[in-house]
Structure 1
Amino acid sequence: MTGVGEGVTDPYLWLEEVDSERALEWARERNAVSKQRFASSDRFRELEARVLAMLDTDTRIAYPGRRGPWLYNYWRDREHPKGLWRRTTFAEYAKDDPDWEILIDLDALAAAEGENWVWGSAAVLRPAQRRALISLSRGGADAKVVREFDIEAKAFLAPEDGGFYLPEAKSDFAWIDDDTLYVGTDFGPGSLTDSGYPRVVKRWRRGTPLESAEFVYEGETTDVAVSAGFDRTPGYQRHFVGRATDFFNEEVYLLEPDGSLRFIDVPTDASESWYKDWLLVRLKSPWEVAGTTYPAGALLATNFEAFLSGARDFDVLFTPDAHTALHGYGWTENHLLLITLRDVQTDLHVLTPGPDGWTREPLADTPRMATTSVMNLDRLEGGDEFMLSTSGFTRPTTLLSGAVGGGVEVLKQEPEFFDADGIETEQFFATSDDGTEIPYFVIRHRDRRGTPGPTVMSGYGGFEVSRTPGYFGGVGMGWLERGGTYVLTNIRGGGEYGPEWHTSVLKANRHKAYEDFAATARDLVARGITTPDRLGAVGGSNGGLLMGVMLTRYPELFGAIVCQVPLLDMKRYHLLLAGASWIAEYGDPDKPEEWEYISKYSPYQNTSADRRYPPILLTTSTRDDRVHPGHARKMAALLESEGHEVWYYENIEGGHGGAADNKQSAFQSALVYEFFAQQLMKD
């Protein structure tokens, strides 16, 4: 092993200096080489233009966020690359060409203020909806500036005129009333956790300086973050605070008028929520309470006030099995809607509480080899209405609307953006090293059956993130139309089979997620779908770490790898940006017993000049303040020094998503598939 091992000075540590001219010049030099190789052909330019046209077209669905009578939408197109924040009514939205009320033109704002603003979010104060808190970042970073916006006047409120304003930070905020907020932000030394998130929450009143905000709650510097909020359900108003002790554990308390706290005594790794009289608890580990053990992945319901008074009587609303997991849930005014995954395909259910207990019925039909999600539930003002969004790998998204007890009707339909004629989706299962069956989807033209061909497989495998079927226009244009095969893997670490699919590979068991991906690669070859020299792999963030492990541990399985916004130096990941918040996922490299297992797979510590690696394209973003760009920079430099074929591209802005606007997104997509085409489509 010739990599940078424990106790060895890192010769590329200077590449962690994000904005140093030396590091940026290093990145620009490699950008130029990669652009010349992969982004200078007519084929690249044609694909880039097609992807950009797809992202810019007004035939895309403008997904709304419902707030009572209003549907809000953030929209980017060719004329508005930074975007518009706008709203309309449901009746208007249902038309083919809705009339939108433009609230913020971000392009105009950025030009007027001389800032590279990237949209973050909008928190609208209800019920009046006259004010909103708008978060904006410079270049797409997680750290954002928060500004109050007058919706009726369509103007920001200046701090000198009494408007709320938070300087750039990873802030947490929530409306209490017209003149009061809960705020967690950078209040000065000691106010942030080691992960860079708020450690202190305060109550901030309009017209007073931020530094005089009233203390509410604080956590420890070793916590991930603390937060506070206000449930404004009429007749059930509740204030609450939360303390996330790590990425997967949080203590939640109701905040009483006298400032005292009432602990909601459920497992800290559970997800609790409440609505009116009901408390819901979704378990991530088994819970023994009052003589009964409830399994991980179950959803429980009980009377909230009775629970706070000590009662432990639960209704079990969902119990997982070997094939089925709970994927999501949400309230309408009178019903609870459940989304379940059965072998990574969705089913929808409606549960209704009544004097004789809960009843359960199907909500709507769902197509196979597709994903259907429930959206725009508004339990405060929306009655029992809902929207459904459904799409598959070759099925463009359809948006439907309905109400519990009635049918659903098509509201919007996206067009096809690539030629899917003859392309079909299949599901297979690979057997991992420990015997676990790992599902994966294969998307290819039917003529490819029986003939191994160029294939790209993608993976993530972490943080209980489920990867389900969806319409990937860029994949279709850049790969499927060219005759390539695309594979979506569902390796452990995700949530496709419930929380234990995730927790089974935490920390010392992380290697199992990598074994799953490698087993899927071998299964693709065994089934005759591809060959190792024509098999590519792609992943970003935690999936970028997965790619780094594939490169250094399983190089013989792949012909090319794309590694996007990755974690790679697992010896230092917890010291960089938000890395400390992920110790619960990976372990603490400062503890010798935990570094012992991390060190076995950490890509930056396990490179070798003596092994043959497939060509790799590393991409990152200078403005990514979640996963430090130093990971990709240092890995590229190290691989170069060892004589491997490595290509590198760094977007000088763009945040963790890698792109700040549609044009950058189109470039990134075309770059990836041109790289794969050159490496894997050689016949």
Structure 2
Amino acid sequence: METQIQEGASQKNLLSQIRERPDYQRIRTALNHPLHNLSEAASTAIIAGERFRFGLEKNPLDIEKYDRYQKSWVPWISLENQGIEREIWSIRSIFPSPSTSRALINLAYKRGDHTKTLEIDFMHGEVVDNDRGGFFAPLGSGGLTWITDNSVVAFVALSVEEKTMSGHPRQARLWRRSQLLNQATLISEVQYEDLTITLQHNSEQGIITHHHSQHEKSRYLVNLYTGLTQALELPSRSQVFIADQKIIVVKYEDTGAVVDLVNLEQNDEGFILSKPVTLYSLGEEEVLRQVALWEEHIVLVLIRNGEERLFLLGTRTGMLQEPFPGVHGSIKVISSPESETSILRILWSNLVNPPRVESIYHDGNEFICEPSEPPVDRMTSHTAVSRDGALVRYFLARPEEVHPYKPTLLLVYGGFGIPFIPNYLPEVASGWMEHGGQVVVGQIRGGGEKGYAWHREGMQEGKLLAVEDAAAIAHDLVSRGVCTPGSLVCQGTSNGGLLISLMVEKYRDICAAAAVHNALFDLSAYDSWDEARTWREEYGVFDSSSREKVLSYSPLHNIPSEPMPPLLISTEANDDRVDPSGAKRMVEALVKKQQNVIYRVGNGSHHGAANLEEALDLMALTFSFFTEQIERNQG
């Protein structure tokens, strides 16, 4: 599980000592059931009305079918029997065709980010090769999106020249069955300097998006039967959703945003757009996350006060209603309003409520929406004041009974405009909260919880502001008596790991310990590979003119001589998103300055653990490491 050369014997001994602790086995046992359930739930697909599962630990190329009569899973397809090598490939995802028993299967090369795509006939249990009209995408070339049972949009690069500088396909092609891929109709193309090209669609019409940067975008309407395109004149920072011959546009301004509805029609000459009708004005810190149409309502999932909440907006009345006022945290609309007009189903969770499905009915007069069970109310929202006066929201979840030591786990991310929503975290619930630990989710700058401005403030040298935000939360927790510095532990993954590293370097007595997983440590060399080139807007470009600025928020270059809190640093040997050599350099520099550090190298890739067993080990190591450090401080 660890590599001797990379970790060294002393590090392996430290890891072994943690695994020998009684609480390591106790935590691992507690994690086993929920993580197995999560793994199975994330690896299930419905194809032609039948349920299949994949991504099995025993064989990553096996697909099982659920037998409704025997009420058990039975073997169905083995891709290994189709000539695909088990040691190299694993099933990443399955996308069913609109109405047949066929599906596109993405196969990950050595469990990494690079994939290839095949078409499978699930009725006959076989690969549909290209000679028989099957769709495919070669390794590392891109991917496919179903349009009809006999056509896809191919985001596929057939040569190096057809890739952006970050390694993504530049072109979108309309590919019909029985055509060769190089005969597919080119419908849109981005430039080499752009990030990538994407599509969202609703049967015949779609919207192609050219991603020039994280926030700067151009959009084009496309007829997915003919390939006809037309520029959609919108501000570059707009959000756009398409559903049932309607376009919903969110136009952001400095003081908020408006939600406009545009009806879409088409004739032989092109697309016809109605005059926009403003339906709703978003508050300054509201963010629209999801849109769907349901009868005479637009379903809006909004981030409000840091949590996702569900609202129904009447297209005729303009009335905004919240059918589930007590349901908030993480919300996703999961039903298909177009095909099931009488029922709207949502999936929701938060830090103390596991995922559950709720249904909303409309009897013609009012909504009927009784929660399946009363929500557990042990999560509260609070505000800390950062060093520059910025107000920073965080959520605190308490277990049924808090341990006398008040163990408290602070989690942050703060990057790429990604909202860090207080959704249910099964590994934290089972491995930490069930043993008396409290959990805190911090919404610091760089995230998307308050919109574009909140993200922008946390980019590049703004990472230092995000660090101050995290520190403000930690200090607020202590001042409110939630915990002490000796019972507070901090964890960050990826960008969150970079920020936690910077925080404990600057505030060396802020917590008992910190764990950092798959983090970026060395910003002097981060953008030397394809994927990381898309991050230059987030982290800046390291050159002679920006050297001092970039190094000011590079963890490797800010290690103090004074003692820091004990650190657990974990990386994956085959991570193809963050170069694992940066973690090795960080650990070497920490050891050189006599800091207390434990180093773990897993066998995973794709920015995560290699398999469920390694994921269980990492979580149990982390929580056992935290428990040990807190116990020492109570000493």
TM-score (norm 2): 0.87
Is 1:157 the counterpart of 2:128 in the alignment? Answer: yes
Unaligned runs of 5+ in 1: 1-20, 287-294
Determine helix, strand or coil for the equivalent of 2:471: helix
Contact 1:70 1:87 in 2 (8 A): no
Contact 1:194 1:223 in 2 (8 A): yes
- Counterpart amino acid of residue 300 in structure 1: D
**Closer/same/farther in 2, CA of residues 58 and 348 from structure 1, 3 Å limit:** closer
Of residues 199-208 and 517-526 in structure 1, the stretch that sits farther from structure 2 once superposed is 199-208
Alignment counterpart, residue 563 of structure 2, candidates 612, 619, 627: 612
Q: Give 1:161 shift.
A: 3.5
Residue number in structure 2 paired with 1:491: 444
Residue number in structure 2 paired with 1:389: 347
TM-score (norm 1): 0.81
**Closer/same/farther in 2, CA of residues 276 and 426 from structure 1, 3 Å limit:** closer
Alignment counterpart, residue 183 of structure 1, candidates 154, 164, 168: 154
**Closer/same/farther in 2, CA of residues 482 and 380 from structure 1, 3 Å limit:** closer
Q: Name the CA distance, whole Å, in 2 between partners of 1:59 and 1:224.
A: 31
Q: Name the CA distance, whole Å, in 1 between partners of 2:157 and 2:385.
A: 48
Q: Give 1:571 shift.
A: 2.0
Q: Name the CA distance, whole Å, in 1 between partners of 2:20 and 2:81.
A: 33
Q: Give 1:426 shift.
A: 3.3
Residue number in structure 2 paired with 1:572: 525
Alignment counterpart, residue 244 of structure 1, candidates 211, 225, 232: 211
1:153-200 per-residue CA deviation (whole Å, 9 max, x = no partner) reads: 232223344322222216132224444332223312222222221123
The correspondence of residues 29-68 of structure 1 with structure 2, limited to 5 A, is: 32-57=12-37
Residue number in structure 2 paired with 1:674: 624
Contact 2:77 2:126 in 1 (8 A): no
Contact 2:355 2:424 in 1 (8 A): yes
Contact 1:30 1:649 in 2 (8 A): no
Q: Give 1:503 shift.
A: 2.7
The correspondence of residues 657-672 of structure 1 with structure 2, limited to 5 A, is: 658-672=608-622
**Closer/same/farther in 2, CA of residues 240 and 327 from structure 1, 3 Å limit:** closer
Alignment counterpart, residue 113 of structure 1, candidates 85, 90, 111: 85
Residue number in structure 2 paired with 1:291: none
Is 1:469 the counterpart of 2:419 in the alignment? Answer: no
Alignment counterpart, residue 597 of structure 2, candidates 620, 627, 646: 646
1:414-439 per-residue CA deviation (whole Å, 9 max, x = no partner) reads: 9x9xxx9xx94333221111212212
Determine helix, strand or coil for the equivalent of 1:253: strand
Q: Give 1:134 shift.
A: 1.0
The correspondence of residues 440-479 of structure 1 with structure 2, limited to 5 A, is: 440-444=394-398, 453-479=406-432
Alignment counterpart, residue 238 of structure 2, candidates 270, 277, 283: 270
**Closer/same/farther in 2, CA of residues 598 and 331 from structure 1, 3 Å limit:** farther
Q: Name the CA distance, whole Å, in 2 between partners of 1:521 and 1:278.
A: 45
Is 1:26 the counterpart of 2:1 in the alignment? Answer: no
Q: Name the CA distance, whole Å, in 2 between partners of 1:227 and 1:162.
A: 24
CA RMSD of superposed structures (Å): 3.7
Contact 2:448 2:454 in 1 (8 A): yes
Q: Name the CA distance, whole Å, in 1 between partners of 2:276 and 2:494.
A: 41
Q: Name the CA distance, whole Å, in 1 between partners of 2:29 and 2:60.
A: 15
Residue number in structure 2 paired with 1:552: 505
**Closer/same/farther in 2, CA of residues 296 and 679 from structure 1, 3 Å limit:** same
Residue number in structure 1 paired with 2:578: 627
- Counterpart amino acid of residue 425 in structure 2: F
Determine helix, strand or coil for the equivalent of 1:558: coil
Alignment counterpart, residue 103 of structure 2, candidates 107, 113, 132: 132
Q: Name the CA distance, whole Å, in 1 between partners of 2:442 and 2:598.
A: 25
Contact 1:461 1:513 in 2 (8 A): yes
Is 1:167 the counterpart of 2:138 in the alignment? Answer: yes
Q: Give 1:135 shift.
A: 0.7
Q: Name the CA distance, whole Å, in 2 between partners of 1:317 and 1:102.
A: 50
Contact 2:335 2:346 in 1 (8 A): no
1:348-388 per-residue CA deviation (whole Å, 9 max, x = no partner) reads: 2212323xx53433333434xx5251332324433353322
Determine helix, strand or coil for the equivalent of 2:162: coil
Q: Percent identity?
A: 23
**Closer/same/farther in 2, CA of residues 600 and 188 from structure 1, 3 Å limit:** same
Residue number in structure 2 paired with 1:317: 280
Contact 2:395 2:442 in 1 (8 A): yes
**Closer/same/farther in 2, CA of residues 220 and 103 from structure 1, 3 Å limit:** farther
Alignment counterpart, residue 586 of structure 1, candidates 503, 522, 539: 539
Q: Name the CA distance, whole Å, in 2 between partners of 1:72 and 1:335.
A: 31
The correspondence of residues 212-223 of structure 1 with structure 2, limited to 5 A, is: 212-223=183-194
Q: Give 1:31 shift.
A: 6.6
**Closer/same/farther in 2, CA of residues 587 and 485 from structure 1, 3 Å limit:** same
Is 1:522 the counterpart of 2:475 in the alignment? Answer: yes
Q: Name the CA distance, whole Å, in 2 between partners of 1:480 and 1:239.
A: 44
Q: Give 1:514 shift.
A: 1.3
- Counterpart amino acid of residue 619 in structure 1: S
Is 1:347 the counterpart of 2:309 in the alignment? Answer: yes
RCO comparison, higher one (Cα < 8 Å, 6+) = 1
**Closer/same/farther in 2, CA of residues 31 and 347 from structure 1, 3 Å limit:** same
Q: Give 1:633 shift.
A: 2.3
The correspondence of residues 8-23 of structure 1 with structure 2, limited to 5 A, is: none
Q: Name the CA distance, whole Å, in 2 between partners of 1:461 and 1:675.
A: 24
Contact 2:293 2:299 in 1 (8 A): yes
Determine helix, strand or coil for the equivalent of 2:574: coil
Q: Name the CA distance, whole Å, in 2 between partners of 1:588 and 1:518.
A: 26
Q: Name the CA distance, whole Å, in 2 between partners of 1:197 and 1:24.
A: 35
Residue number in structure 2 paired with 1:425: 379
Contact 2:573 2:602 in 1 (8 A): yes
Determine helix, strand or coil for the equivalent of 2:622: helix
Q: Give 1:521 shift.
A: 1.2
Q: Give 1:590 shift.
A: 3.5
Q: Give 1:119 shift.
A: 3.4
Q: Give 1:272 shift.
A: 0.8
**Closer/same/farther in 2, CA of residues 242 and 130 from structure 1, 3 Å limit:** same
1:652-671 per-residue CA deviation (whole Å, 9 max, x = no partner) reads: 12421x22432222112111
Alignment counterpart, residue 600 of structure 1, candidates 548, 552, 555: 552
